[in-house]
C-alpha cells in the first residue's frame, strides 16, 4: 500500500510539473531582440493591416486613432472589452518596452505575466516578423495618449479562468512565423503574409471547434458570427469563384461588391483599415485570397 501511495504521489507531482510547464505564460526577453531602427512608415502600414482601430478605438470618438478601448466584443464565451493601447503611461501601453509588446503580440502574455484571451488574435500576429512588430509599436507610440482604463471582461464560467489558457495555447499557439513559399511570386507571398499575419482574416472567416480553436480543414470557409447575428462569409473559391482579383481589390479599397452593394457589419470596419494600405498591398491580399482553394 505504501508503494502504491508513493507511486500515486510521484505521478501527481509529475502531473503538476507538466501542467505548470504547459500552462506557464511565455515571455520574450529584451536581450533576444537585435538592434533595430524603427521605420514609422512601415509601422503605420502594419498598424492598419493589423486592424488595431477596429477593436481598440475609443467608442464614438471622431478620431479613430484614440485607442482608449472599451468597445464590447460579444462571443459565445462572454463579452470582451479590448483595453486601452494608447501611449498613455498609466492607462495604456506607454510604459511598455519593445519586448513586452512583442511578447503580447506573439505569446499572448501581459507585462504582469497573465495570459491574454485569444479574442486578441495573437495566434495570427505570431506570424509577423520582429521588425514589423517593432515598427508597429513605434508607430502606436506616436498616437495621442488617452486616459481611462477599460472594465474587466464579462466571461461565462468557466471560460474566465486564465490559467486554463495555457493549455489552450499549447494546442493552438504553435509559435510559427510566416514562411514564404519559394514557388510563388513575391506578390502572392506578400498577400499571404498580410492575410494570415497582421490581417488575421482567418480569425473571423473560419469556423471554430468546441474549444474555440480554428478548424484547420475549414480555414477561410466562413462560419457563425461570434456576436450571434448571422454568419461570416466563406472567402475561398467555393464562394468567390466568380470574383476576379480586381473585384476583391475593390472590396478591400471601397467595400463595394461586384453587384453594387457594400459590405456591412464588422467588415466595414476592416475596409476602413485596408483602404489605408498601399495599393500594392491590397492587390497582394486580393491575389492571395483569389488563390484560396474551394472549401465548402
Last residue of a domain, one of 177, 205, 239: 177
| Domain region containing 78 | 36-177
| pLDDT the model gives residue 192 | 98
| pLDDT the model gives residue 228 | 67
| pLDDT the model gives residue 2 | 75
Last residue of a domain, one of 177, 201, 223: 177
| pLDDT the model gives residue 97 | 96
Indicate the pLDDT class of residue 251, thresholds 50, 70 and 90: very high
| Same-domain pairing of 59 and 123 | yes
Q: Is 170:123 a contact under the CB 8 Å cutoff? A: no
Domain assignment of residue 230, yes or no: yes
| Same-domain pairing of 40 and 173 | yes
pLDDT at 198 over 80: yes
pLDDT at 225 over 60: yes
Per-residue model confidence as pLDDT tens digits over 117-138: 999 999 999 999 999 999 999 9
| pLDDT the model gives residue 5 | 72
Domain assignment of residue 243, yes or no: yes
Domain assignment of residue 67, yes or no: yes
Q: Is 149:86 a contact under the CB 8 Å cutoff? A: no
| Same-domain pairing of 89 and 130 | yes
| pLDDT the model gives residue 261 | 83
| pLDDT the model gives residue 155 | 86
| Same-domain pairing of 164 and 44 | yes
Pick the range with the lowest mean pLDDT from 46-50, 58-62, 228-232, 248-252.
Answer: 228-232
| The model's pTM | 0.90
Last residue of a domain, one of 177, 209, 232: 177
pLDDT at 15 over 60: no
| Same-domain pairing of 97 and 156 | yes
| Same-domain pairing of 172 and 192 | no
pLDDT at 229 over 80: no
| Same-domain pairing of 125 and 166 | yes
Across the range 98-106, mean pLDDT stands at 97
**Number of domains, the chain:** 2
| Same-domain pairing of 164 and 191 | no
| Same-domain pairing of 155 and 193 | no
pLDDT at 74 over 60: yes
Per-residue model confidence as pLDDT tens digits over 261-293: 888 878 888 999 999 999 999 999 999 999 999
Across the range 33-51, mean pLDDT stands at 96
| Same-domain pairing of 154 and 195 | no
Comparison of pLDDT for 14 and 259, the residue scoring more: 259
Indicate the pLDDT class of residue 110, thresholds 50, 70 and 90: very high
Across the range 73-83, mean pLDDT stands at 90
| pLDDT the model gives residue 12 | 65
| pLDDT the model gives residue 264 | 80
| Same-domain pairing of 43 and 139 | yes
Pick the range with the lowest mean pLDDT from 4-8, 188-192, 236-240.
Answer: 4-8
| Same-domain pairing of 92 and 170 | yes
Domain assignment of residue 27, yes or no: no
Amino acid at each position: 500500500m505504501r508503494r502504491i501511495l508513493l507511486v500515486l504521489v510521484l505521478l501527481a507531482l509529475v502531473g503538476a510539473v507538466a501542467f505548470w510547464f504547459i500552462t506557464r505564460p511565455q515571455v520574450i526577453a529584451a536581450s533576444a531582440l537585435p538592434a533595430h531602427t524603427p521605420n514609422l512608415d512601415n509601422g503605420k502600414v502594419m498598424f492598419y493591416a493589423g486592424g488595431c482601430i477596429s477593436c481598440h478605438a475609443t467608442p464614438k470618438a471622431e478620431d479613430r486613432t484614440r485607442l482608449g478601448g472599451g468597445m464590447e466584443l460579444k462571443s459565445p464565451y462572454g463579452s470582451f472589452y479590448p483595453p486601452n493601447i494608447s501611449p498613455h503611461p498609466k492607462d495604456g501601453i506607454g510604459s511598455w518596452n519593445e519586448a513586452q509588446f512583442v511578447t503580447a503580440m506573439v505569446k499572448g502574455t501581459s507585462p504582469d505575466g497573465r495570459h491574454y484571451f485569444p479574442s486578441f488574435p495573437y495566434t495570427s500576429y505570431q506570424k509577423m516578423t520582429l521588425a514589423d512588430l517593432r515598427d508597429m509599436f513605434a508607430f502606436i507610440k506616436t498616437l495621442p495618449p488617452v486616459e481611462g482604463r477599460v472594465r474587466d471582461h464579462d466571461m461565462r464560467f468557466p471560460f474566465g479562468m486564465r490559467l486554463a489558457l495555457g493549455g489552450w495555447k499549447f494546442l493552438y499557439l504553435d509559435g510559427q512565423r510566416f514562411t514564404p513559399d519559394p514557388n510563388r511570386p513575391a506578390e502572392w507571398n506578400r498577400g499571404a503574409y498580410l492575410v494570415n499575419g497582421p490581417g488575421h482574416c482567418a480569425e473571423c472567416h473560419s469556423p471554430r471547434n468546441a474549444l474555440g480553436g480554428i478548424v484547420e480543414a475549414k480555414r477561410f470557409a466562413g462560419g457563425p458570427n461570434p456576436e450571434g447575428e448571422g454568419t461570416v462569409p466563406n472567402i475561398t473559391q467555393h464562394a468567390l469563384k466568380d470574383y476576379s482579383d480586381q473585384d476583391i481589390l475593390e472590396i478591400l479599397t471601397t467595400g463595394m461588391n461586384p453587384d453594387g452593394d457594400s459590405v456591412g457589419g464588422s467588415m466595414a470596419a476592416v475596409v476602413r483599415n485596408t483602404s489605408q494600405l498601399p495599393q500594392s498591398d491590397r492587390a497582394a491580399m486580393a491575389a492571395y485570397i483569389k488563390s484560396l482553394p474551394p472549401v465548402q
